[in-house]
Chains A and B, each alone.
Chain A
Amino acid sequence: MIKHLRLPQLSWRFIPVWQRNYLVWKKLAIPSLLGNLADPMLYMLGLGYGLGSLMPDVAGMPYITFLAAGTVAYSTMNAATFEVLYSSFSRMHVQRTWDAIMNAPLTLDDVMLGELTWAVAKSLLSGVAILAVIWGLGLYGHFWMTLWIIPVVALVGFCFGGLGLVMNAVSPSYDFFLYYFSLVITPMVLLCGVFFPVSQLPLPVQAVSAWLPLTHAIDLARPLVVGNVPDDIVLHVVALLIYGSVGYVIALALTRKRLLK
């Protein structure tokens, strides 16, 4: 792998790859949107109102607001993760679409950048849809402040797109992704403050949680929903950038090793 480890070669040639994914998505946009959004929306509204009605305010806000802010980050994470795991893997391994593209004057770096930016686009779609529900239900503090959630969502998509591509690079089959979901994604959902404040967890677990990327995402998104300026903005932004970039560079090296031999 070390031999393949080098910085990504950025080129505008990634655009037709992004465009290819967009055109395919467009054909099935409605069912795809429903599939991506119904799940987080149902959880958010069901738990938010159902459980929320039994609860006093959580962390100084109604539970539905608390949960909505968590759901923005969580559904964004899922959108990017699903895209670079299952969909990218289909294109790379099952359909051999990447091979076809690399016979044209595109490189693996172009293809992977196309996949990463497409994952960011899918995250934006998913995050903004949840944001629209937040607007619709009036679950926010200041409208203008909530607009900052849009770049946050893109950043979260970048972070989990980069990390997920590592899994894509090493996976022998679709079944392999279950490990990632069971060992990484699901624990993160429970440890990073989507459904309840991290402060409810035992102190050692809180210490772990502070390092996880989803925690950084939620620490940015939740204050913005409520209408506050997040604390430690630079820390959270840099953490998400590092997770995404390091993941992406490792993913590139592993995929080079896998395909370019």
Chain B
Amino acid sequence: MLTVRGLTKKYGATEVVRGLDLTVRRGECFGLLGPNGAGKTTTLRLLLGLIEPDAGSIELAGIAVPQHAREARMKVGVVPQMDNLDPDFSVRENLFAYGRYFNMERAAIAARVPELLEFAGLASKADAQIAQLSGGMKRRLTLARALVHDPDILFLDEPTTGLDPQARHLIWQGLRRLIADGKTIVLTTHFMEEAERLTDRLAILDHGRLVAEGAPRALIESHIEPAVVEVYGEGLEVWMRDHASQVCQRSETVGETLFCYTGNAERVIDTLKQAPALRYLHRPSNLEDVFLKLTGRDLRD
């Protein structure tokens, strides 16, 4: 569905995307993860043919981009990071206006609108103005708008950023329905939970380069120990000196907390019980641990 080879984009002397290779199969939900400035949004813009790469090739839905970007975009639906619904139109009119950009006949759009409104849970808001919608409703309408021309592949740029948990779960439900219907989805996010729940495979991007790729479970298994014990409180230094190197396979101190990565959490906890002033949290390791291991803990702005 999407094949990217050696994709490179420079701004002046800085390479924002550096020789990226990606393959997304039909019907797959693919995640593009990375800290701010890793090149996720630039990559999406390249894939849509909105900007021209300095090197590399893109084939989207069997069409070469940017050479035939117009034709390729006919087959793609886009949910951008920032809402850009048309505030001069009502909910329904937004769908009609967007359909026209895809050259759709009025009747064809009209036939599609009821199911899109139902999908977005906005059937009762069809004639509402955009300003009257909540953040979650706007996102759902943006998602419905991206589906107006029944695209084969959907690009979502941080689809749930800024939403409350209720609204986020509704978006996830919608996306699961689309995946079940066989749509191909490419989404960028920095919510690890979102990536873990939705994607079949994901790629972690840092400084414009691919640092890991695979199924979420497989990435966790191959990059990180199965469990994490986060230790903090009075006496941490003593415990670190006496025990950490023996019981932790790998450890990392962040502020006042020690992250102890281990295959045998019980052994760690046994030693912690002898230091009652210490507090700890034991949990299975997750994608966020992989992400932080691969991209570091430094702030990115």
Contact = CB atoms under 8 A, between A and B. Distances in A.
B51 A261 contact: yes
A46 interface: no
Given A104-B73, A105-B71, A261-B51, A99 B84 contact: yes
A170 B101 CA distance: 26
Contacts of A103: 48, 50, 73, 76, 78, 80
A101 B78 CA distance: 10
A105 B80 CA distance: 15
Nearest to B76: A103
A100 B86 CA distance: 9
A99 B87 CA distance: 14
Contacts of B76: 103
Interface in A78-116: 95-97, 99-107
Contacts of A19: 100
A23 interface: yes
B92 to A, nearest CB: 12
Given A105-B73, A105-B74, A260-B51, A16 B84 contact: no
A24 interface: yes
A interface SS class:
helix
Interface residues of A, number: 22
B213 interface: no
Contacts of A24: 88-89
A95 B101 contact: no
B97 interface: yes
A104 B151 CA distance: 11
B101 A97 contact: no
Interface in B73-109: 73-74, 76, 78, 80, 82, 84-89, 93, 97-98, 100-103
A27 interface: yes
A17 to B, nearest CB: 8
B177 to A, nearest CB: 22
Contacts of A16: 97, 100-101, 103
B86 A107 contact: no
Interface string A10-35: 00010011011001100100000000
Contact of B101 (A96, A105, A260, A261): A105
Most buried by A among B85, B86, B102: B86
A23 B71 CA distance: 26
A106 B78 CA distance: 13
Contacts of A107: 70
B13 to A, nearest CB: 15
B288 to A, nearest CB: 30
A261 B11 contact: yes
B80 to A, nearest CB: 7
Interface in B122-154: none
Most buried by B among A17, A103, A260: A103
Interface in A247-261: 260-261
A101 B50 CA distance: 12
B102 to A, nearest CB: 6
B102 A95 contact: no
Contacts of B103: 13, 16, 105
B175 to A, nearest CB: 18
A125 to B, nearest CB: 18
A240 to B, nearest CB: 31
B86 A20 contact: yes
Nearest to B79: A103
A100 B73 contact: no
Given A24-B88, A261-B51, A104 B80 contact: no
Nearest to A15: B100
Contacts of B101: 16-17, 101, 104-106
A105 B70 contact: yes
Interface in B25-45: none
A16 B102 CA distance: 9
A23 B11 contact: no
Given A20-B97, A24-B89, A101-B101, A95 B84 contact: yes
A95 to B, nearest CB: 6
17 contacts: A16-B100, A20-B97, A23-B89, A23-B93, A24-B89, A95-B88, A96-B84, A97-B84, A100-B84, A100-B98, A101-B101, A102-B50, A105-B71, A105-B101, A105-B103, A106-B70, A260-B51
Q: Which 10 A-B pairs have the closest CB atoms?
A: A104-B101, A96-B84, A103-B78, A16-B100, A24-B88, A100-B84, A105-B73, A105-B70, A105-B74, A16-B101
Given A19-B100, A20-B86, A100-B98, 12 more contacts: A23-B89, A24-B89, A27-B88, A95-B84, A96-B84, A97-B86, A99-B84, A100-B84, A105-B70, A105-B101, A105-B102, A261-B51
